[in-house]
Amino acid sequence: MEAVRMAHEKDRLLRHAVGKPVPKRREREMASARSACFSLLCLLVLAAGPARAGDAAVKDFFGRYVGEAISTMEEGLSKRDLSVEIRDAGNDAFTVDWTTITREEDGSRKRKSYSITFRPTKRDGIFASAMRADKFGNAVPLDPMTGQPYVRARIHGKTLTIHALHITPEGGYEMQVYDRTLIPEGLDLRFSRFRDGRQLKLITGTLIRLDG
């Protein structure tokens, strides 16, 4: 019994020396978040698939596009104006700039703009986002474990897809998927937002190419 008591006392002293232990609930949340992140990153890799001979080239998407889209699902039907520019960023990289203007019921408009550069990876047709610099100065994706989105792009057939993965504070996930498919007029747009596998939003529309 004395040996057991001494072992407990040693454990108490060690805990006091290094600080309070992580609460069990927090440990479970962290483990859940790590598990969700790993599983979803695996799905992103598997979903990418190998590049095919019929896949479009990045340069085929270069241009400026404008159009209108319809949003459905939870928020009901709503219209929004869209503009997209896809341009060369040098060294086989490309940048996607896009702006969404939502028309509110009171007549006001809400504007959101984004710009992300993507660099080629060792896998054909798959591109990593360059949204921060690592300790060596290399442009790399953001870290989803810190609440930031993990973003990557791929080309499959005539579709340029951008995936943005968010890990929620509860350890779940939210996935945003932007599909932009080449059509004679410009681009066919399909945006989907999922949370823990449930689709929350769907936006569809057609964007007209302005420069040729």
* CATH number of 203's domain: 2.40.128.20
20: in domain: yes
pLDDT at residue 104, as a whole number: 76
69: in domain: yes
Distances (CA, A) of 71 to 74, 81, 108: 9, 11, 17
pLDDT at residue 15, as a whole number: 46
Cβ pair 175, 40 in contact under 8 A: yes
51: in domain: yes
pLDDT at residue 192, as a whole number: 96
Domain count, the chain: 1
CA 72 to chain centre: 20
1: in domain: no
| Better-predicted residue by pLDDT, 59 or 20 | 59
57: in domain: yes
* C-alpha to C-alpha distance for 151 and 164, rounded to whole angstroms: 4
pTM metric for this prediction: 0.73
32: in domain: yes
Domain with 151 in it: 6-209
142: in domain: yes
Task: Dig out the tokens for 32 from the structure.
Answer: 């859940």
What's the maximum distance between 2 C-alpha atoms anywhere in the chain? Answer: 85
84-127 per-position pLDDT tens digit: 999 999 999 999 999 999 877 777 889 999 999 999 999 999 99
